[in-house]
């Protein structure tokens, strides 16, 4: 049985956010729903500092979904640059095409319509509905889940995937007023990003430290399944990134030897090139040449 949290958590976190919120372009009152959607795609597994310049350049070039939909998916991959996980660029391009085709070029405001867009899962649909359209939605990203897990359930880190108990807790804390609920969702997210961080949380700066179950329990260490440790050097991810970098920097197609030169392990390089082709991030351009789609 899930223990419902105290509503006393809400006001201090909202007050803290009023004072400490970062000025991010997708949070400004003037931000379009498209800006919010683009930011949510880019922020997946990528820090804000890396997203900011790419988001700015993206919105300058493609200020609307229609503008992006009119370009090739390869241009989206090229503009994605070194953000990583470039399949997100293909999905964002596909989402722009769907918005233009099915919604008259306007990012939809309903959760179900957002959820039906390519590349949009539960979190992204809820986030856009809340942050762009000020709706009352439970928004559970890693930062929110960590804050609520510590403050309410006295666990250092949440489970690998969202649980029913987490949703019950999040729903119980969500303010009834939709605009306030939307602000609450981003406030908890910001607290997790800046104070209640995964490593070295700054409990002395937390507005709810005296209401935090984890802190009261002596900050017990995580005892769940081993948390995944991401590596990069020497991985297929790095190899794929090297191959894509060659194609991004070329105005057209490139010969196979240009790709061969950037990675010494022949078997790994061929495997990664095949996976890029399978993912639609690279296309064969004939005569042993390759290009962005």
- Active site amino acids: 40
CA-CA distance, 57 to 26, in Å (whole number)?
A: 13
CA separation, residue 232 to residues 83, 207, 241, 272 (Å): 14, 36, 10, 14
Sheet holding 289-291, edge to edge: 254-255, 289-291, 283-286
Q: How far does Cα 241 stand from its chain's mean position?
A: 19
Those residues whose C-beta lies under 8 Å from the C-beta of residue 116, and which sit 6 or more positions away, are: 98
CA-CA distance, 273 to 84, in Å (whole number)?
A: 16
Q: By C-alpha distance, which of 3, 1, 14, 11 is closest to 169?
A: 3
């Amino acid at each position: 049985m899930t223990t419902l949290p105290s509503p006393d958590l809400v006001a201090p976190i909202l007050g803290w956010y009023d004072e400490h919120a970062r000025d991010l372009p997708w949070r400004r009152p003037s931000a379009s729903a498209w800006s919010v959607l683009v930011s949510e795609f880019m922020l997946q597994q990528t820090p804000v500092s890396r997203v900011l310049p790419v988001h700015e350049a993206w919105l300058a070039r493609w200020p609307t979904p229609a503008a992006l939909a009119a370009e090739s998916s390869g241009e989206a991959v090229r503009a994605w640059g070194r953000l990583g996980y470039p399949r997100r660029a293909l999905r964002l391009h596909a989402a722009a095409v769907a918005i233009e085709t099915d919604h008259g070029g306007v990012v939809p405001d309903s959760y179900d319509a957002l959820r039906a867009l390519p590349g949009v899962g539960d979190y992204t649909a809820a986030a856009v509905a809340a942050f762009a359209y000020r709706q009352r939605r439970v928004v559970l990203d890693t930062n929110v889940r960590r804050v609520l897990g510590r403050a309410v359930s006295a666990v250092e880190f949440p489970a690998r995937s969202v649980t029913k108990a987490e949703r019950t807790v999040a729903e119980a804390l969500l303010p009834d007023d939709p605009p306030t609920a939307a602000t609450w969702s981003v406030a908890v997210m910001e607290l997790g990003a800046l104070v209640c961080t995964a490593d070295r949380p700054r409990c002395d700066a937390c507005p709810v430290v005296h209401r935090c179950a984890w802190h009261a329990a002596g900050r017990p260490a995580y005892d769940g399944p081993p948390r995944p440790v991401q590596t990069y050097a020497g991985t297929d991810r790095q190899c794929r990134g090297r191959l894509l970098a060659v194609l991004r920097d070329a105005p057209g197609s490139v010969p196979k030897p240009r790709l061969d030169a950037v990675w010494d392990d022949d078997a790994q390089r061929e495997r990664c090139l095949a996976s890029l082709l399978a993912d639609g991030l690279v296309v064969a351009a004939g005569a042993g040449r390759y290009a962005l789609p």
